[in-house]
């Protein structure tokens, strides 16, 4: 049974059974936009144009972008290419990859925002529909990615699903993080510590911080009616990140390749409800 308007001791809001419908509507729109944007990702395309198309789709649906105007952010998406961990700014010059690096200067960037063959990118979209937030992201490839990149994308995707499998009443948030970390490290990759998932619902970011690493049994206990995101960032190299001078773009400190997937989910009486499931069954880029 879900209590009325309750909050846990950790400040986590417990939503009502009727609230799941609002989250499904918002989540489905965000997921559909990610489905539809896939055909617009190719070598020669710009991240600025991809974002423009996303904003157009949000508007066409009569929804609102949650990111435009959020803490001074100006875009309908974050587009994070290659060594950008998260919060990549569409239209901004893409930071240089390790193999392109001539200077050690972390601010050195490519000349423009044009995608090239083999680039991998995360596109993260958050929409508001009738006051409910849908927040989801996936990986895309411009052209063909190499084996290493494909493996990183696969492991990151599967780590999110491992985390989601740990969502049920009685488990803890630590169980989610533990499932993700164990899986990722078993593949000799690393989990980013500097960014986490978050509660959402009627607000964009609320308690708790959903860590993608941790000890089994630690953290707050999961209860029916909790809504939050799980959004692991996984690096081929070290877990550390650096934020560039634009104060948004987070890159891997060692410039290694990185990937991320994100779902918005709700805890049900028996398990989990995924709000941002792809309507077209396209969540994984290489599994259709």
224 is a site residue for Co ion (CB under 5 A): no
Helix locations, the chain, DSSP H: 19-37, 47-60, 147-165, 173-186
Nearer to Co ion by Cβ, of 20 and 133: the residue is 133
Nearer to ligand MF3 by Cβ, of 98 and 205: the residue is 205
| 30: nearest Cα among 124, 121, 163, 160 | 124
Q: Which of 55, 119, 135, 175 binds Co ion (CB under 5 A)?
A: 135
Distances, alpha carbon 149 to alpha carbons 6, 152, 174, 194, 256, in Å: 43, 5, 28, 22, 11
Stretch near Co ion under the rule CB under 5 A, chosen from 62-70, 134-142, 208-216, 273-281: 134-142
CB of 126 to ligand MF3, least distance (A): 4
CB of 44 to ligand MF3, least distance (A): 25
229 is a site residue for Co ion (CB under 5 A): yes
Q: State the binding partner of 186 from ligand MF3, Co ion, none, CB within 5 to 8 A by kind.
A: none
Burial label, 186 (beta-carbon count in 10 A; 0-12, 13-18, 19+): exposed
DSSP code at position 222: P
Dihedral through CA 118, CA 122, CA 123, CA 127, nearest 10? 170
278 is a site residue for Co ion (CB under 5 A): no
Q: Strand pairing partners for 13?
A: 7
Q: Strand pairing partners for 198?
A: 209
Q: State the binding partner of 70 from ligand MF3, Co ion, none, CB within 5 to 8 A by kind.
A: ligand MF3
CB of 175 to ligand MF3, least distance (A): 21
Contact residues: ligand MF3, CB under 6 A: 67, 70-71, 73, 78, 87, 124, 126, 135, 229, 231, 262
Contact residues for Co ion, defined by CB under 5 A: 124, 135, 137, 229, 262
């Amino acid at each position: 049974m879900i209590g009325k308007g309750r909050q846990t001791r950790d400040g986590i809001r417990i939503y009502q059974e009727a609230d799941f419908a609002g989250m499904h509507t918002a989540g489905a729109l965000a997921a559909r936009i990610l489905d539809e944007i896939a055909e617009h990702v190719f070598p020669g395309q710009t991240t600025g144009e991809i974002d423009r198309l996303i904003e157009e789709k949000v508007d066409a649906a009569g929804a609102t972008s949650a990111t435009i105007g959020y803490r001074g952010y100006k875009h309908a998406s974050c587009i994070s290419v290659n060594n950008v961990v998260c919060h990549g700014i569409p239209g901004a010059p893409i930071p240089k990859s390790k193999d392109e690096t001539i200077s050690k200067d972390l601010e050195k960037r490519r000349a423009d925002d044009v995608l090239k063959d083999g680039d991998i990118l995360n596109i993260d979209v958050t929409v508001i529909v009738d006051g409910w937030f849908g927040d989801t992201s996936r990986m895309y490839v411009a052209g063909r990615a190499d084996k290493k990149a494909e493996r990183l994308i696969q492991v990151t995707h599967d780590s999110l699903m491992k985390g989601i499998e740990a969502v049920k009443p009685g488990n803890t948030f630590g169980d989610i993080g533990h499932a993700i970390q164990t899986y990722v490290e078993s593949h000799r990759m690393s989990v980013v510590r500097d960014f986490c998932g978050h509660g959402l619902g009627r607000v964009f970011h609320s308690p708790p911080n959903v860590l993608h690493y941790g000890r089994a049994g630690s953290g707050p206990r999961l209860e029916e009616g909790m809504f939050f995101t799980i959004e692991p960032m996984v690096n081929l190299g070290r877990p550390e990140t650096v934020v560039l001078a634009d104060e948004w773009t987070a890159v891997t400190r060692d410039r290694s390749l990185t990937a991320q997937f994100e779902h918005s989910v709700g805890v049900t009486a028996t398990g989990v409800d995924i709000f941002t499931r792809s309507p077209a069954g396209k969540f994984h880029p290489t599994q259709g």
